[in-house]
Structure 1
């Protein structure tokens, strides 16, 4: 009888053994019939033929059937033992695979914790870099505002020098008119006495000898002429003073706006005392401008120190190379225009100084007012040279700051690329390790356990 038949057959419940217990002495002389009946029932339950034809007679034992049954039972026992060993081996393999899976799970948990910590560290790094980027952008914005303010100052200086040129032209034209009048009124030299430093008449003719009548008659004309000339000169000086005050007030407003400070006392001084002397007003305005320039210098030095402090830390934009080059070209063009303007002024002044003149024109040019104007022009030229040097220094500092910001921007881009690469690799590894379904996890575990068992064997 085949083993498959033995396993597929229905198992009938055996009869209870009430008269004996399982011990070393299974059969005795008193329970022979019961043992025969029990054996037959067990064999029939296992689909074996009974070895006793009659339960009452022991001699009716069928030896062939008994031997076959014993052989089949031995085979079944051997198979059961083999299956038991195989199941034990499978159990050992399963336990080893389970232990390996636990180790792998713990290792992956450690890797996950490390990845989370690294991610948090990178987020903190990114936040710091964004903060530094914002601070650098604010610094760049302040620098651009400073450049615009300096450009406004340069424009105001150009306006002031244009005004000076126009004033010089008016004075030059006035001197030419005076010279033409002197040349027209000049007559042929006659023999006789010459009167030096006489007061001329309005019609250009020479006055007569002073007698009682002529002196009383022409004294009023002389005073009227002097008063008219003095009034005209005073009117021109007042117009010029008003224009200069406007220019200086504009410069002062720009300086105050750049340093974010106001100086109300000096404004009240300029607006409330228009009748003060020119020297006193000039001294007050000069002191005010010097104070504003000191404040401006301190403000620029503070900006430079802030830029250097930001560079020492973990910084980085900010401006592109193209914008930097455009800014440099524009600044160079403005500097070239200023240089051309200054050269034009120098040429005009040189032409005025080198123009040939006669003795009377030389006497007019050597007047105290012209000397005072020359001295003032020299002082203004020195101030302008100092301002130009300061502007060159500020432009150099701005260029160095822009280059530093460009390098820091490049370093920031490199760090950001490395972080994105690391983040992409971590995300890809996590997606590969993430289970798709429960059945897929079981299939992977079975395949991994099979590979591990083969490797162990």
Structure 2
């Protein structure tokens, strides 16, 4: 069976889509992107190259090849296989575009969340700096109060010691005064007795 010439318009249904005719007519041009093919390569070789590239993308190849990379004549490519492969490529393109759009949306969402997190981080950092400043001020105030408390405790201790000394002095003086009063009372009693004795003597004379 003779291989059809895919580069010829006669292989395309005249009533078919003009876009399909244009697609088939472009097979005679070097593929882009990809390595350029010499002008002398036949359409079959171009189809074989197209088939290999499609197979790398996980799409069913247009035709089987021998060990030399040439299409096998027992299973030639036809228009249906070519259209099926093209549709698979379009489907792969749309799926890839959809995934790319999803990734772009996720990237935008991630960027927005990242900016929001940066804003929150800056706000929290400001609050943290303010809290650290307040803590430092409170710690300084606490140290000052502790120092004042120690000073007051030392002063109170000194006052207590002074009061104890004064109480001891007052108690000692009170005891001394009491002894002095008793001694004077005794002296006064003796003087009264002497005066009484003198009066009695005068009266008896």
Of the two structures, which has the highest relative contact order with CA contacts closer than 8 Å and spacing of 6 or more? 1
C-alpha offsets along residues 263-291 of structure 1, whole Å, 9 cap, x if unaligned?
A: xxxxxxxxxxxxxxxxxxxxxxxxxxxxx
Tell me, what secondary structure is at the counterpart of 1:122?
helix
C-alpha offsets along residues 338-386 of structure 1, whole Å, 9 cap, x if unaligned?
A: xxxxxxxxxxxxxxxxxxxxxxxxxxxxxxxxxxxxxxxxxxxxxxxxx
Matched, 1:35 2:46: yes
* Match among 173, 189, 192 for residue 176 of structure 1: 192
Matched, 1:48 2:60: yes
Per-residue deviation, 1:21: 6.8
Specify which structure has the higher proportion of helix.
1
Equivalent residue number for residue 14 of structure 2: none
C-alpha offsets along residues 229-263 of structure 1, whole Å, 9 cap, x if unaligned?
A: xxxxxxxxxxxxxxxxxxxxxxxxxxxxxxxxxxx
Per-residue deviation, 1:73: 1.9
Unaligned runs of 5+ in 2: 1-29
Equivalent residue number for residue 130 of structure 1: 146
C-alpha offsets along residues 97-140 of structure 1, whole Å, 9 cap, x if unaligned?
A: 22222222222222222222111111110111011111211221
Distance in 1 separating the partners of 2:39 and 2:167: 133
Tell me, what secondary structure is at the counterpart of 2:60?
coil
TM-score normalised by structure 1 residue count: 0.32
Structure 1's 127 and 44: CA in aligned 2 closer, same or farther, altered over 3 A? Answer: closer
Alignment of 1:226-375 (within 5 A): none
Equivalent residue number for residue 156 of structure 1: 172
Contact 1:51 / 1:63 at 8 angstroms: preserved in 2?
A: no
Contact 1:36 / 1:52 at 8 angstroms: preserved in 2?
A: no
TM-score normalised by structure 2 residue count: 0.66
Matched, 1:84 2:100: yes
Per-residue deviation, 1:94: 1.6
Per-residue deviation, 1:177: 2.5
Contact 1:48 / 1:69 at 8 angstroms: preserved in 2?
A: yes
Unaligned runs of 5+ in 1: 1-19, 190-457
Tell me, what secondary structure is at the counterpart of 2:137?
helix
Equivalent residue number for residue 11 of structure 2: none
* Match among 80, 97, 100 for residue 64 of structure 1: 80
Tell me, what secondary structure is at the counterpart of 2:62?
coil
Structure 1's 180 and 43: CA in aligned 2 closer, same or farther, altered over 3 A? Answer: closer
Per-residue deviation, 1:87: 0.9
Per-residue deviation, 1:71: 2.0
Q: In angstroms, what is the RMSD of aligned CA positions?
A: 3.3
